[in-house]
Amino acid sequence: MQRKLLDKLRQARAEGLPVALATRLGDGVQGLIFDHGSAGDLTLPPDRLAQVRTMLDEDRSGVLGEGEEEIFVRSYAPAAEIVVVGAVHISQYLLPMASMSGLAVRLIDPRRAFASPERFPGLEIVTAWPDEALAAQPPHRRSAVVTLTHDPKLDDPALEVALNSPAFYIGALGSRRTHAQRLERLTERGFGPEQLARIHGPAGLDLGSRSPAEIAVSVLAQIIAARHGKATR
């Protein structure tokens, strides 16, 4: 591999960006494929680029094509993650269950009395304001962002960042009335109907959930469904 290509690959991985290394098996020519754009000497037609990006989305590696145009694709996708805003009771169930389901987990809440290692042992806790925390580690295509505080000062800034990101899932807890008010505020902030339709609100599949643990199950189930392209509403 050329040194300049290796440096780009290392940089993308350090920044948590999805990237695929494509190698033409006939002559060893290589290129990097990103969500948007590419680098290197390998030029692929649009349909083949789309196939590589599909493999990258699904975190799959393998061979595409045949003959002289056969290429091997090695996908480097960041770990699928759930970012929860709000150190509430539901979070105490949702985050451990998400971790057991194979998701990387991150909790954001500036209220240190709630976001404490005693309440969330062994989990990554960020006590910055949600918009600052998400700006420092932006959501990517394999991110699920869930807001649970019911406090617009915390939830709304997080949702704004999430809506401007490629996160595969955005959810917000609250009643239908609360969600309608939330959409009004975000509309005033300049978000359109198509953007706002990305928000699952109230978050979670309709399982009849009542307790914090049951609500956590419904939210995680909806995230898993979204991750695998199944119906979420």
What strands, in cross-sheet order, belong to the sheet with 104-108?
Answer: 125-126, 104-108, 81-85, 143-147, 169-172, 199-200
Among the listed residues 78, 62, 68, 10, the one whose alpha carbon sits nearest the alpha carbon of residue 42 = 68
Q: Which residue has the higher pLDDT, 46 or 57?
A: 46
At 28, list the tokens: 């060893």
pLDDT score of 15 more than 90: no
Q: Give the containing element (helix H, strand E) for 51.
A: helix 46-57
**Cα angle for residues 155, 224, 181 (degrees, 5° grid):** 25
Spatial distance between the Cα atoms of 30 and 56, rounded to a whole number of angstroms: 16
Q: Map residue 112 onto helix, strand or coil.
A: coil
Rounded mean pLDDT, 62-80? 89
Q: Give the containing element (helix H, strand E) for 105.
A: strand 104-108
**Cα angle for residues 151, 190, 141 (degrees, 5° grid):** 75
Four-CA torsion 177, 179, 181, 186, nearest 10 degrees: -170
At 17, the pLDDT band (50, 70, 90 cuts) reads: confident
Assessment of whether the complete model's pTM goes beyond 0.85: no
Rounded mean pLDDT, 185-199? 97
Spatial distance between the Cα atoms of 30 and 71, rounded to a whole number of angstroms: 9
Position 105 scores a pLDDT of 96
- Of 59-63, 94-98, 181-185, 228-232, minimum mean pLDDT range: 228-232
Position 31 scores a pLDDT of 95
- Domains recognised in the chain with CATH numbers: 3-76 (no CATH), 81-227 (3.40.50.720)
Spatial distance between the Cα atoms of 185 and 223, rounded to a whole number of angstroms: 24
